[in-house]
Amino acid sequence: MIPEIEKASAAEIKAFQEEKLKETLQYLDENSPFYKRFFKENNIQISEIKTLEDIQKIPVTTKDHLQRFNDDFICVPKTEIIDYVTTSGTLGDPVTFALTDADLERLAYNEAISFACCGVGKEDTLQLMTTMDRRFMAGLAYFLGARKLGSGIIRVGSGIPELQWDSILKFKPTYLITVPSFLLKLIEYAQQHEIDLQATGVKAAICIGEPIREQDFSLNILAKKIKKDWDIELFSTYASTEMSTAFNECEKHNGGHHHPELIIAEILDENNLPVSEGEVGELTITTLGVQAMPLLRFKTGDMVQGYNEPCECGRKTMRLGPVVGRKKQMIKYKGTTLYPPAMYNILNDFSGIESYVIEIFHNELGTDEILIKIASENTSEELLLEIKDHFRAKLRVAPKVEFATSEEVEALRFPPLSRKPVDLIDRRL
Ligand SMILES: [Zn+2]
């Protein structure tokens, strides 16, 4: 089930998106209090925006806009709103997203074609290991997508390995939808309870929320750990509430496919201009066909690379590589641009490291410094050297690395008000 437009030529896809863009601009100009004002303030004549290139005349929308003018983004009366979703905002207060009946239908379509991208069909049964409530969009999207595709779906929710296994053994799902690190917990439980991992009937996992691949699309440490004990196919996905759209891998596993009927994707540099092909930039999106809360040139904060060659699966749409990092966590270190996930990958490679925390701060010259504190039983100079060499080999530069006691590292990783461990302490702000 590949939509025709995804098999069309680049020129056809562009022309198709330009039609959709015109409709979207017209719709925003008529219905969005925020964009009506935004167009006026920035002297934008929407009739002059005809091509995908013209869109650069319109200033970008930021998370800050979304938070400060949240209600002004809603284009429909309250009577049309069916579902309410919230996301955590950058300024603290959550941002509300509203969905109409048509938006839920669009979400179902998005998830159905994204599941199909991962090879899910009517004959499959999915086990949903994320929550469907708590004002999250994703769980609901998975359910609606499975329903549209005609696949079975078992709503187990997050956590509780015992219940997950009970459900896997009872209903024989073929796909799991899960945070990949949770698969390690399932493996551990299976091993402790003599469940034969090879005889479960599970073919694959659709992995959300955490990366499973390196930038060259090879499996990362987490994915290798999973596959060592449980050799199921792992599909990477990337999505967000703001986009209301997913980028799922196909069976070729070389990036998440763009669905041109749902979203316009730009990859922009510091000056909000498109990066050259092969460069990393900030994903900036324009939703298509959204009724309640469409977004125009919204900066996602995610740094990504796009790939434009046609895929062997038959889709000719752009593919997104694994998210390189969050824009605000970008580090300029000795002339090299780094993101924390690349450093985590390197540190996770060393089984001798018990725990670590990365500190970033400005030195007296105002440039970025990195200090990595590691706890290890082996506190030899050789280990420090080995870590630094590994950094140089992978990232061209080696940050400062020093030993600390595990108590010190844990105290930094679990600050009093944080609910999650912190791997990165950014003191630059
Ligand atoms: Zn493909």
Q: Give the chain's mean pLDDT.
A: 94
Task: State the average pLDDT over residues 296-322.
Answer: 96
Q: What is the pLDDT of residue 90?
A: 57
Residues in Cβ contact with 7 at an 8 Å cutoff, skipping those fewer than 6 apart? 314, 315, 316
The predicted-structure confidence for 248-306, as pLDDT tens digits, reads as follows 999 999 999 999 999 999 999 999 999 999 999 999 999 999 999 999 999 999 999 99
Percent of the chain at pLDDT > 90 equals 83
Three-state SS for the chain is CCCHHHHCCHHHHHHHHHHHHHHHHHHHHHHCHHHHHHHHHCCCCHHHCCCCCHHHHCCCECHHHHHHCHHHHCCCCHHHEEEEEEECCCCCCCEEEEEEHHHHHHHHHHHHHHHHHCCCCCCCEEEECCCCCCCCCHHHHHHHHHHHHCCEEEECCCCCHHHHHHHHHHHCCCEEEECHHHHHHHHHHHHHCCCCHHHCCCCEEEECCCCCECCCCCECHHHHHHHHHCCCEEEEEEEECCCCEEEEECCCCCCEECCCCCEEEEEECCCCCECCCCCEEEEEEEECCCCCCCCCCEEEEEEEEEECCCCCCCCCCCEECCCCEEHHHCEEECCEEECHHHHHHHHHCCCCCCEEEEEEEECCCCCEEEEEEEECCCCCHHHHHHHHHHHHHHHCCCCEEEECCHHHHHHHHCCCCCCCCCCEEECCC
What's the confidence (pLDDT) of residue 414? Answer: 87
For residue 311, how far is its CA from the centre of ligand 1 (angstroms)? Answer: 5
CB atoms within 10 A of CB 150: 11
- Cα–ligand 1 centroid distance for 223 (angstroms): 20
Q: Which residues pair with 263 in a beta bridge?
A: 287
User: Which residue is listed with tokens 């309250």?
Assistant: 78
pLDDT tens for 67-83 read 999 999 999 999 999 99
Calculate how far, in angstroms, residue 116's C-alpha sits from the geometric centre of ligand 1.
11
C-alpha of residue 257 to centroid of ligand 1, in Å: 7
Give me ligand 1 centre to Cα 343, in Å: 29
Average pLDDT over residues 198-206: 96
Number of C-beta neighbours around residue 220 at 10 A:
21
Res 139: pLDDT: 94
**Is the pLDDT confidence value at 389 over 80?**
yes
Q: Is the pLDDT of residue 87 over 90?
A: no
Confidence of residue 394 (pLDDT cuts 50, 70, 90): confident
101-155 pLDDT, tens digit per residue, is 999 999 999 999 999 999 999 999 999 999 899 889 999 999 999 999 999 999 9
Distance 250 CA to ligand 1 centre (A): 5
Q: How far is the CA of 280 from the centre of ligand 1 (A)?
A: 20
CA of 351 to the centre of ligand 1 (A): 34
What the block records as the tokens of 226 is: 């999973």
Separation of 324 CA from ligand 1 center, angstroms? 20
What does the alpha-carbon distance between residue 409 and residue 169 come to, in Å, rounded to a whole number? Answer: 40
Query: From ligand 1's centre to the CA of 14, what distance in Å?
Result: 19
- Are 422 and 410 a contacting pair, CB within 8 Å? no
Work out the pLDDT band at 386, boundaries 50, 70, 90. very high
pLDDT of residue 120: 98
CA 252–ligand 1 middle distance (angstroms): 6
Residue 349 has pLDDT above 90, yes or no: no
Q: Can you tell me the distance from the alpha carbon of 239 to that of 307, in angstroms, rounded to the nearest whole number? A: 17
> For 413-426, what is each residue's pLDDT tens digit?
988 876 678 889 99
pLDDT tens digit sequence for 360-378: 999 888 889 999 999 999 9
More confident residue, 328 or 254: 254
Tell me, in angstroms, the distance from the centre of ligand 1 to residue 368's CA.
38
Q: Are strands 175-178 and 152-155 parallel, antiparallel or unpaired?
A: unpaired
Q: Which pLDDT score is estimated for 388?
A: 93
CB contact burial 279-301 (16+ within 10 A = b; e otherwise): ebbbbbbbbbbbbbbbbbbbbbb
pLDDT at position 419: 66
pLDDT computed for residue 221 by the predictor: 86
| 34-44 mean pLDDT | 97
Least confidently predicted of 60-64, 269-273, 393-397: 393-397
CA of residue 371 to ligand 1 center, whole Å: 40
Q: How many A from CA of 417 to the centre of ligand 1?
A: 43
Residue 53 has pLDDT above 70, yes or no: yes
Q: How far is the CA of 255 from the centre of ligand 1 (A)?
A: 8
pLDDT at 89 over 70: no
Instruction: Kindly give the distance from the C-alpha atom of residue 322 to the centroid of ligand 1, in angstroms, as a whole number.
Output: 15
108 CA to centre of ligand 1 in angstroms: 20
CA 349 / ligand 1 centre spacing (Å) = 29
Query: d(Cα 331, Cα 337) in Å, to the nearest integer?
Result: 6
pLDDT exceeds cutoff 60 at 91: no
User: Where does the pLDDT of residue 92 fall: very low under 50, low under 70, confident under 90, or very high at 90 and above?
Assistant: low
Distance CA 52, CA 24 (A): 13
CA of 310 to the centre of ligand 1 (A): 8
Residue 95 C-alpha to ligand 1 middle, in angstroms? 33
Q: Ligand 1 mean position to 399 CA, how many Å?
A: 37
Going from the Cα of 256 to the center of ligand 1, the distance in angstroms, rounded, reads 8
CA distance 138 to 99: 13
Are the C-beta atoms of 215 and 190 separated by less than 8 Å?
A: no
What's the confidence (pLDDT) of residue 341?
87
User: What's the gap in Å between 7 CA and the centre of ligand 1?
Assistant: 10
Residue 149 CA to ligand 1 centre (angstroms) = 19
Q: Tell me how crowded residue 175 is: count the other CB atoms within 10 A of its CB.
A: 26
